[in-house]
Amino acid sequence: MIPGRPAGTVGRTRTCPHCKATILESAAVCPQCRHHLKFGVATVAPAKVEGFSALRVEGSIEHPKQGGDWEYSVVLTIRNERGEEVSRQVVGVGALRPAESRTFSLSVDVLTPGGRPR
């Protein structure tokens, strides 16, 4: 369950049995490992769940052909309406050698349980 939220079904979480990521209880497919979840109400008698992508950002970094290696960390920070940090996670690290590039994509997918309009 999300801390600071009243008890109920919206926003409740569970652990993916495949990759152990924390996911929404209503998820029929894990967004981390993309495995189909064969248990729970959503897959046995699907509730009406609609959704949309509220945010999608993609960008690339490219190392010039000269110079030494680069290291990078992908940090995700979530803030609430007051600007207070709710969560901060390092979601990936790596290195770039000269002439290499990486593309990063971020999406925020919103589910509307019960089919409420967006």
Q: How many angstroms separate the Cα of 118 from the Cα of each of 47, 77, 78, 104, 112?
A: 17, 24, 21, 27, 8
CB 105 within 8 A of CB 58: yes
In this structure, the answer to whether residues 74 and 102 fall within a common structural domain is: yes
In this structure, the answer to whether residues 43 and 14 fall within a common structural domain is: yes
Q: What is the pLDDT of residue 21?
A: 84
**pLDDT tens readout for residues 33-74:** 888 885 544 444 444 557 788 999 999 999 999 999 999 999
CB 20 within 8 A of CB 33: no
In this structure, the answer to whether residues 72 and 19 fall within a common structural domain is: no
Q: What is the pLDDT of residue 58?
A: 96
> What percentage of the chain carries pLDDT values higher than 90?
43
In this structure, the answer to whether residues 107 and 61 fall within a common structural domain is: yes
In this structure, the answer to whether residues 110 and 62 fall within a common structural domain is: yes
Domain that holds residue 73: 54-118
How many CA atoms, within 13 angstroms, populate the side-chain half-sphere of residue 16? 18
Q: What is the pLDDT of residue 69?
A: 94
Q: Give the number of domains in the chain.
A: 2
Beta-bridge partner residues of 52: 110
In this structure, the answer to whether residues 20 and 62 fall within a common structural domain is: no
Higher-confidence residue of 72 and 25: namely 72
Read off the pLDDT of each residue in 93-100 and give the average, rounded to a whole number. Answer: 93
Distance CA 106, CA 101 (A): 17
Read off the pLDDT of each residue in 66-88 and give the average, rounded to a whole number. Answer: 94
Higher-confidence residue of 89 and 50: namely 89
DSSP, res 66: S
Q: What is the pLDDT of residue 97?
A: 94
CB 77 within 8 A of CB 90: no
Task: Supply the pTM of this predicted model.
Answer: 0.65
